[in-house]
């Protein structure tokens, strides 16, 4: 099995997915929607591993006694490199806590989901704004977004503990059970609580959240920022630049 | 790069996709929705190639002077086998014209989309019914569905030429341009014309069509059959059987 078997393309994207599977599909749909293409062959060639048998990321973050996802992440990363990927994206926020280890020794770009969000905030003219954050306990307590956002001059607002326990965490569980509509109602209330407290925008910092809070809803588009979409946007930008550099565009 | 790198699982599914990319995402979404799972790791491990740089299937069927998709299909098939897939599914109807060549010498199951549709028709108690067909010209003229359905005692109804030219083919093009809502309105009219002529059910025999005619619409669920969903159902059945056989279930 060689890389050439499925075609060597400068814009071939590897997707390290399955965390969870529905978030991966949501990312792929956004990638397609954001790609300027009028026919099949103008779309970005993608290899996806959505093999969700990866030790849970939040549990591993919260208690080091739990199994680490790192070996599974590294195996999938190497699989994607072997499959000819020229860049990798990972549509899961919490997994980015292992970003440094997963990218160690990697010769191709690995697009970071928080960098993608910061780029969209800047494009929306929200530099230095107050940003609400919805996510897993691991993402919030580990300051995955808060640390880089604060460093770049943003102010971060987190949900009250009751909002997390009654709305956000049950909503994430509902998405994993494939009940996005029920989850959406909980997420909406959580986002509203942050906007009421003065957030200019709410970052949906767990890839399960935008599955419930659809970007097709104008309220969501106006008040929320979807890291899965931001990551897809960064991937499209990368692919178009890679094509141009290779004389393909 | 070895198979073991991303884990050896008896239920690992290879998806030969990208024809088009949105139809692949639609298939993956249905696969997840149909899988009995309450947590990430209960979902089916999937490897996807969605590299849409494959010569167009309808054009190759209609005129042998056009480039054949077969070399690209074989390369992707071999890639999936090398990635450890234990079965393969291809969410594209027209590509199944190359089914015999693509499965030649293959040691793992390659689930056929028409077999999956016939299984669903039987489950719905529609044995021997009159079945309307919507699809590309290549699928209809090549009798991809009509030949096996007629052999099994069904009667097939095809759209009038004006319906194809004014509704079906423009609709397929709109889906490829990522305009599913506009496409859906055209497909709905085409399906109604077949129901008016006596079809008991309309098979949406091009994977772009269900992207426009959503299964969330009760009218679609009542009157149409989605081969992409039927294929996903066949894959879930295969995966659950594979788990059981391996003592994983």
Pair A97, A185 in one domain? no
Interface residue of B12, B38, B48, B173 to substitute, partner A, most A CBs within 10 Å: B48
Residues of chain A neighbouring B72 (CB-CB closer than 8 A): 7
Do the strands B130-134 and B155-157 form a parallel or antiparallel pair, or are they unpaired? parallel
| Residues from chain B contacting residue A28 (CB–CB below 8 Å) | 21, 24-25, 28, 50
SS (H, E, C) B133-157: EECCHHHHHCCCCHHHHHHCCCEEE
Cis peptide before B20 (omega within 30 of 0): yes
pLDDT per residue over A102-112, tens digit each? 999 999 999 99
User: If pLDDT is split at 50, 70 and 90, which confidence band does A7 have?
Assistant: low
**Coil vs helix vs strand at A225:** strand
CA distance to partner chain A, nearest, from residue B179 (Å): 9
Residues A199 and A239 in one domain: no
Output A198 or B216, whichever has higher pLDDT. Answer: A198
A to B CB pairs, distance under 8 Å = 151
Could you tell me the two tokens for B91?
Answer: 């969410």
- Model confidence at A90, pLDDT cuts 50, 70, 90, reads very high
- Distance (Å, rounded) from C-alpha A90 to C-alpha A18? 9
Number of CB atoms found within 10 A of residue B180's CB = 19
C-alpha R_g of chain A: 18
Instruction: Name chain B contacts of A232, Cβ cutoff 8 Å.
Output: none
Question: Confidence class of residue A207 from pLDDT cuts 50, 70 and 90?
Answer: confident
pLDDT tens profile A8-67? 899 999 999 999 898 999 999 999 999 999 888 999 999 999 999 999 998 898 898 999
Pair (A191, A171) in one structural domain? yes
What is the DSSP-derived secondary structure letter of residue B109?
-
Q: Name the 3-class secondary structure at B132.
A: strand
Q: Which two tokens stand for residue A62?
A: 């919260």
Q: What percent of chain A has pLDDT over 90?
A: 83
pLDDT, mean over chain A: 93
pLDDT of B7 reads 64
Nearest Cβ partner of A75 from B6, B46, B52?
B6
The answer to whether residues A145 and A184 belong to one domain is yes
pLDDT of residue B177: 80
Supply the Cα-derived Rg of chain B in whole angstroms: 18
Regarding whether A161 and A238 lie in a shared domain, the answer is: no
What residues in A contact B18, CB-CB < 8 Å? Answer: 40, 43, 45-46
- Cβ-nearest to A39 among B43, B78, B176: B176
Structure tokens, A98: 């292992």
Distance CA A201, CA A132 (A): 6
Point out the residue among A28, A38, A75 whose CB comes nearest to the CB of B25.
A28
> Do A23 and A56 touch, CB atoms closer than 8 A?
no
Nearest to A126 by CA among A202, A35, A234, A235: A202
pLDDT tens sequence across A95-138: 999 999 999 999 999 999 999 999 999 999 999 999 999 999 98
Report the pLDDT value the prediction gives residue B192, as an integer from 0 to 100.
Answer: 97
Closest CB from A29, A40, A52 relative to B45:
A52
b/e sequence B6-33, b meaning 16+ C-beta within 10 Å: bbebbbbbbbbbbbbbbbbbbbbbbbbe
Three-class SS state of A226: coil
Q: pLDDT confidence of A2, banded at 50, 70, 90? A: very low
Residue B123 confidence (pLDDT): 95
pLDDT score, position B1: 38
Measure CB to CB from residue B79 to each of A9, A72, A83 and give the nearest one: A83
In chain B, the residue whose alpha carbon lies closest to the alpha carbon of A55 is: B41
Residues B126 and B211 in one domain: yes
Residue of B2, B3, B6 to mutate when probing chain A, most A C-beta within 10 A: B6
CB contact under 8 A, B52 and A41: yes
CA distance B19 to A59: 38
Q: Which residues of B touch A54 (CB under 8 A)?
A: 40-41
Instruction: Determine the average pLDDT of the residues in A156-161.
Output: 97
B41 contact partners, CB below 8 Å, separation of at least 6: A52, A53, A54
* Contact between chains at A53 and B177 (C-beta distance less than 8 A): no
Please name the residue of chain A whose CA is at the shortest distance from the CA of residue B55.
Answer: A41
pLDDT tens-digit series, residues A225-239: 999 999 999 999 999
In the prediction, which pLDDT does B145 show? 97
Q: Each residue of B212-238: b (16+ CB within 10 Å) or e?
A: bbebeeeebeebbbbbbbbbbbbbbeb
Q: Kindly give the confidence (pLDDT) of every residue in chain B, 249 residues in length, as a single tens digit, with 9 standing for 90 and above.
A: 333 344 689 999 999 999 989 899 999 999 999 999 988 899 999 999 999 999 999 889 889 899 999 999 999 999 999 999 999 999 999 999 999 999 999 999 999 999 999 999 999 999 999 999 999 998 999 999 999 999 999 999 999 999 999 999 999 989 878 788 999 999 999 999 999 999 999 999 998 899 899 888 999 999 999 999 999 999 999 999 999 999 986
Instruction: Count structural domains, chain A.
Output: 2
Domain match, A34 and A101 both: yes
**Residue A96 is part of a domain; what is its CATH number?**
3.40.50.1860
Chain A's closest residue to B211, CA to CA, is A29
**ipTM field:** 0.92
Give the pLDDT of residue A5.
42
Count of beta carbons in the 10 Å neighbourhood of residue A37: 18
Residue A66 CA to residue B219 CA, distance in Å, equals 47
CA atoms of B154 and A139, how far apart (whole Å): 55
B156 and B170: one domain? yes
**Is B49's CB within 8 Å of A6's CB?**
yes
List of chain A residues whose C-beta atoms are within 8 Å of the C-beta of residue B177: 37-38
Contact criterion met (CB < 8 Å) for B5 and A79 = yes
pTM: 0.93
Shared domain check, A179 and A92: no
Q: What are phi and psi of B245, to 5 degrees?
A: -65, -35
Q: What is the pLDDT of residue A176?
A: 77
Q: What pLDDT shows up at residue A144?
A: 96
Q: What are the chain B neighbours of A52 within 8 Å (beta carbons)?
A: 40-43, 45
Instruction: Report the C-alpha gap between B21 and A227 in whole angstroms.
Output: 21
Picking from A12, A19, A87, A78, the residue whose alpha carbon sits closest to that of residue A51 is: A19
Across residues A174-194, what is the average pLDDT?
92
Closest chain A residue to the Cα of B54, Cα to Cα: A41
If asked whether residues A62 and A141 sit together in one domain, one would say no
Q: Are A146 and A224 within one domain?
A: yes
A221 and A122 co-located in one domain: yes
Residue B41's pLDDT is 92
What is the span of the domain harbouring residue A22? 3-113+230-245
Distance CA(A155)–CA(B104), nearest Å, equals 60
Nearest C-alpha neighbor of A7 from the set B188, B41, B72, B65: B72
């Amino acid at each position: 099995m060689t890389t050439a078997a499925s075609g060597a393309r400068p814009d071939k994207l590897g997707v390290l997915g399955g965390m969870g599977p529905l978030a991966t599909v949501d990312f792929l749909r956004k990638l397609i929607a954001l790609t300027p293409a009028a026919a099949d062959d103008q779309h970005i060639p993608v290899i996806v591993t959505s093999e969700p048998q990866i030790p849970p990321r939040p549990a591993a973050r919260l208690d080091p006694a739990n199994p680490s996802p790192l070996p599974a992440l590294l195996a999938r990363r190497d699989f994607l490199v072997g499959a000819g990927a020229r860049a990798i994206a990972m549509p899961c926020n919490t997994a980015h806590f292992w970003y440094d280890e997963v990218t160690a020794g990697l010769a191709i770009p690995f697009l970071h989901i928080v960098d993608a969000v910061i780029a969209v905030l800047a494009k929306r003219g929200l530099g230095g704004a107050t940003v609400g954050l919805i996510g897993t306990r691991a993402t919030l307590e580990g300051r995955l977004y808060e640390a880089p956002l604060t460093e770049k001059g943003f102010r971060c607002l987190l949900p009250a503990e009751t909002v997390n326990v009654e709305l956000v965490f049950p909503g994430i569980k509902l998405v994993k059970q494939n009940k996005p509509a029920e989850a959406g109602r909980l997420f909406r209330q959580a986002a509203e609580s942050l906007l009421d407290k003065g957030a200019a925008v709410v970052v949906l910092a767990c890839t399960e959240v935008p599955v419930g809070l659809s970007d097709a809803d104008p309220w969501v588009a106006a008040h929320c920022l979807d890291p899965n979409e931001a990551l897809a946007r960064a991937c499209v930008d990368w692919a178009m630049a890679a094509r141009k550099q290779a004389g393909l565009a």
